[in-house]
Amino acid sequence: QQPVQSPQAVILREGEDAVINCSSSKALYSVHWYRQKHGEAPIFLMILLKGGEQKGHDKISASFNEKKQQSSLYLTASQLSYSGTYFCGTETGNQFYFGTGTSLTVIP
Amino acid sequence: ETGVTQTPRHLVMGMTNKKSLKCEQHLGHNAMYWYKQSAKKPLELMFVYSLEERVENNSVPSRFSPECPNSSHLFLHLHTLQPEDSALYLCASSQGDRQSYEQYFGPGTRLTVT
């Protein structure tokens, strides 16, 4: 029931783009994205609600494909500060589960 | 203080000890959560409190005992823990009582059971 994230880990050079995917086996009502830097608390990034909307701020955006029951997080022109573990959280009916996370490392 | 705070940040305890973790939120939220975060595993929800009442308990062993004396404070009392309970314990709060609301996390308590 927990969503599956891919890739599990990715290494980027500063300025490169990345996509992180989150897939569910159940119909989704909403998808949430969080980022956790090593030794710190997870920080909320955005919520996407059913309806296929796309959201974003700065150079981080996300899409939600209701039919495919998946969401993608897009990081463009990555910065060193983007490094961390990205978690999706999925709401299906009255259940909510976090994914296993994607470790993203941006190097100079 | 702002946001969500947790104390202690690190804790080492033996299997026969009794200790407590403390969480405090300064956001005026109505709901508070305890999560367990182990390496290579997703965040596991342990308990949810809404307006000081427990609304969810995800089959957590009785050696973990939560307490929510008011909407700003949450405790996790620990006794006779096992080595596999070693993990990062995160507290979170949200305006509404469902995880689908934006959650604000504390920095966590790194627990080691010896």
**C-alpha closest to that of A92 among A65, A72, A69:** A69
The mean pLDDT of chain B is: 90
B chain contacts of residue A44, beta-carbon cutoff 8 Å: 102-104
Going across the sheet that includes B73-79, the strands are B4-7, B18-25, B73-79, B64-70
For B71, residues 6+ apart whose C-beta sits below 8 A from its C-beta are: B29, B30, B32, B51, B52
Are residues B41 and A96, on separate chains, in Cβ contact within 8 Å? Answer: no
For B61, residues 6+ apart whose C-beta sits below 8 A from its C-beta are: none
B53, HSE (Cβ side, Cα atoms, 13 Å): 3
The tens digit of pLDDT for each residue in A24-81 reads 998 888 899 999 998 888 999 998 987 766 666 678 999 998 888 999 999 999 999 9
The tens digit of pLDDT for each residue in B49-79 reads 987 777 777 789 999 999 999 999 999 999 9
Count of Cβ atoms closer than 10 Å to residue A56 Cβ = 14
Which of B99, B104, B110 would best serve as a mutation to test chain A binding (most A beta carbons within 10 A)?
B99
- CA separation for the pair A63, B42 (Å, rounded): 22
Are residues A41 and B43, on separate chains, in Cβ contact within 8 Å? Answer: no
Q: Which residue has the tokens 């009785």?
A: B62
Are residues A41 and B108, on separate chains, in Cβ contact within 8 Å? Answer: yes
> What mean pLDDT do residues B30-53 have?
88
**C-alpha closest to that of B45 among A91, A55, A23:** A91
**Count H helices, E strands: chain B?**
0, 11
Query: Distances from the Cα of A85 to the Cαs of A106, B83, B97, B101, B107, in angstroms?
Result: 11, 25, 25, 20, 15
Q: Phi/psi at B100 (nearest 5 deg)? A: -75, -5
- CA separation for the pair A9, B10 (Å, rounded): 27
Query: What pLDDT sits at residue B99?
Result: 66
Has residue B43 got a pLDDT over 80? yes
A chain contacts of residue B40, beta-carbon cutoff 8 Å: 100
Give residue ranges of B with CB < 8 Å to any A CB: 4, 40-43, 45, 90, 98-100, 102-108
User: Do A96 and B100 form a contact (C-beta atoms < 8 A)?
Assistant: yes
Are residues A41 and B99, on separate chains, in Cβ contact within 8 Å? Answer: no
Q: How many CB pairs under 8 A join A and B?
A: 43
A chain contacts of residue B100, beta-carbon cutoff 8 Å: 29-30, 32, 47, 91, 96
> What mean pLDDT do residues B14-24 have?
94
Query: What pLDDT sits at residue A93?
Result: 77
Q: Which residue of A has its CA nearest to B42?
A: A100
